[in-house]
Amino acid sequence: MSKKLVVLSGPSGAGLGDIAAAVFAAREDVVPVVPVTARKMKEGEKDGVGFYFYDLEGWNALKESGDLLEATEFAGNDYGTSRRLVTELLDKGLNVMIDRSVDRAAQVKANMPEALCVYIEPSERVLEERYRAICRSSLELSLRMETAERQREASGFCDARVCSDDLEAAAKELSALIG
């Protein structure tokens, strides 16, 4: 069976991190890939643990070579996913799983069409309950719900959808999709 890159996406509060952690814990053949960045290393960080760090020249070389499956800028720093690093893990017989925002997941799908993109979302009722637990105002709740709806509308490129009302059940469903 061929191994695959699995890209999880979904709104904040969907449980992507918990679901991914459950799959990683249950399956030795599913691993994360370390992302790449052009930001400066912070005190206590090590290259290859959390991130692979590049200077601007190295980052530009990654972009020009087509190695970045996806990239984004956040707070003035560049972040992305290396095709080479993903391919190395796939070639070792491992499935690779990452979670990315909808726009970044769409970039991966465009650059690696064979990737399995899975949109993870709870029902609207459960998502609202989760947001109510963390929002400090009705305005914040409304903005989060609107953002989640926009993300859902933009997720049409995804190959599958998993409901995350029950995180354990969602992890099992995701594991079955991976094969």
Q: What digits encode the pLDDT tens for the residues 2-29?
A: 899 999 999 999 999 999 999 999 999 9
Query: How much is the pLDDT for 2?
Result: 82
Give DSSP secondary structure letters for 50-112.
EEEE--HHHHHHHHHHT-EEEEEEETTEEEEEEHHHHHHHHHTT-EEEEE--HHHHHHHHHH-
Work out the angle between the directed axes of helices 138-153 and 124-134 (0-180°, nearest 10).
Answer: 140
Domain locations along the chain: 5-178
Measure the CA–CA gap between 71 and 62, rounded to whole angstroms: 10
For a pLDDT cut of 70, what percent of the chain falls above it? 99
Residues 6+ apart with CB under 8 A from 112: 5, 69, 83, 86
Task: Tell me the pLDDT of the chain averaged across its residues.
Answer: 96
Arithmetic mean of pLDDT, 38-49: 95
Fold (topology level) of 5-178: Rossmann fold (3.40.50)
**With 0-12 CB in 10 A as exposed, 13-18 as middle and 19+ as buried, what is 153?**
exposed
Q: Rounded to the nearest 10 degrees, how much is the dihedral formed by the CA atoms of 179, 98, 22, 159?
A: -40
Query: How much is the pLDDT for 33?
Result: 97
Q: How many CB atoms lie within 10 A of CB 90?
A: 16
Arithmetic mean of pLDDT, 101-126: 97
* Residue that is written with structure tokens 């995180």 in the block: 167
Max CA-CA distance within the chain?
A: 49
Query: How much is the pLDDT for 91?
Result: 96
CB of 50 closer than 8 Å to CB of 57: no
Q: Three-state SS for 46?
A: strand
Q: Three-state SS for 119?
A: strand
Query: How much is the pLDDT for 1?
Result: 59
Report residue 132 CA to chain centroid gap: 24
